[in-house]
Structure 1
Amino acid sequence: MEKPEIAKLGYVALVSSDLQKSLTFFRDVIGLEETAEIDGVHYLRAWGDFQHHTLSVEQGESGYVKHIGWRTKKREDVEGFRALLEEQGVDVRTVPAWETPGIGEAVRFSLPSGHTFELYYDIEKPEVEEHRRSVLKNQTYKAWAKGISPRRFDHVNLHTSQQAPETFEFLQNVLGFKMRELLENDNQDILAGWMSVTQLVHDVAFVVRPETDTPARVHHISYWSDDSQDILRAADILKEHGFDFVGPGKHSISQAMYIYVTDPGSGCRVELFTGGYLIFEPDWEPVRWHESERAFGNTYWGDSINAKELVKTTIEAR
Structure 2
Amino acid sequence: MAPAHEIAHLAHVQLFTPDPERSVEFCTDFLGLRIAGTDGDDVYLRTWDDYEHHTLTLTARKRSGIGRTHLRAASPEALRRRVDALSAAGRGIGWVDGEPGYGPTYLFTDPDGHEFGVYYESEWFTPAADSRPSLKNQAEAYPGVGVGVRRLDHVNFLGRVPADNRDFLVDMLGAMVTEQIVLNDGTVAGTWTTLTNKSYDLVYTRDNLGLSKRLHHIAFATDSRADILRACDIALEQDVFIETGPHKHAIQQTFFLYVYEPGGNRIELCNAGARLILAPDWRPIDWTEAERAKGQAWGLQTIESFHTRGTPTADELALED
Q: TM-score by structure 2 length?
A: 0.91
Identify which of 183, 190, 203 aligns with 2:181.
183
- On the 8 A contact 2:163/2:191 being kept in 1, the answer is no
Correspondence 1:169 to 2:180: no
The 1-side partners of 2:45 and 2:312 are apart by: 21
Residues 219, 311 of structure 1: 8 Å contact kept: no
The one-letter amino acid of 1:155's match is H
What does the per-residue CA deviation read over 1:183-217, in whole Å, with 9 as the maximum and x for residues that have no partner? 101233211111001111110111112424x3121
SS, match of residue 234 in structure 1: helix
* Matches of 1:92 and 1:82, distance apart in 2: 10
Query: Which residue of structure 1 lines up, in the alignment, with residue 67 of structure 2?
Result: 66
Alignment match, 2:12: 11
What is the SS of the residue equivalent to 1:180?
Answer: strand
Q: Check the 8 A contact 2:184/2:288 in 1, yes or no.
A: yes
Q: Contact between 1:85 and 1:92, CA under 8 Å: does it hold in 2?
A: no
Query: Is 1:267–1:313's contact at 8 Å kept on the other side of the alignment?
Result: no
Partner of 2:275: 277
Aligned AA (1:139): Q
Instruction: Write the distance in 2 (CA, Å) between the matches of 1:283 and 1:289.
Output: 19
Matched, 1:259 2:260: no
Q: What is the 5 A alignment of 1:13-52? A: 13-52=14-53
Percent of pairs with identical residues? 31
Deviation at 1:267, TM superposition (A): 1.2
- Structure 2: which amino acid aligns with 1:57? L
Q: Does 1:219 align with 2:216?
A: yes
Look up the match of 1:103.
102
Distance apart, 1:170 and its partner CA: 0.8
Q: Size of the alignment, in residue pairs? A: 310
Number of the residue aligned with 1:315: 311
- In the aligned structure 1, how far is the partner of 2:15 from the partner of 2:83? 24
Deviation at 1:57, TM superposition (A): 0.7
Gaps of 5+ in 1: none
Deviation at 1:29, TM superposition (A): 0.9
Q: Give RMSD over aligned pairs.
A: 1.9
Equivalent position of 2:229 in the other structure? 232
**Which amino acid counterpart does residue 94 of structure 2 have in structure 1?**
R
Q: Residue in 1 aligned with 2:207?
A: 209
Establish whether residue 305 from structure 1 lines up as the match of residue 302 from structure 2.
yes
List aligned pairs for 1:127-206, cutoff 5 A.
127-161=126-160, 163-206=161-204
Q: CA contact under 8 A between 1:103 and 1:123: conserved in structure 2? A: yes
Amino acid at match of 1:44: L
8 A contact 1:29–1:147 mirrored in 2: yes
Structure 1 residues 210, 228: CA separation in 2 closer, same or farther (over 3 Å shift)? Answer: closer
Cα separation, partners in 2 of 1:123 and 1:272, compared to 1, 3 Å: same
- In 2: Cα distance, 1:281 partner to 1:91 partner: 32
Task: Find runs of 4+ consecutive structure 1 residues off by over 3 angstroms.
Answer: none
CA shift for structure 1 position 144 = 4.2
**Pairing of 1:48-127 with structure 2 (within 5 A):** 48-96=49-97, 98=98, 100-127=99-126
* Paired residue secondary structure (1:140): coil
User: Mean alpha-carbon deviation: is it higher for 141-150 or for 254-263?
Assistant: 141-150
Structure 1 Cα separation of the partners of residues 239 and 22 of structure 2: 13
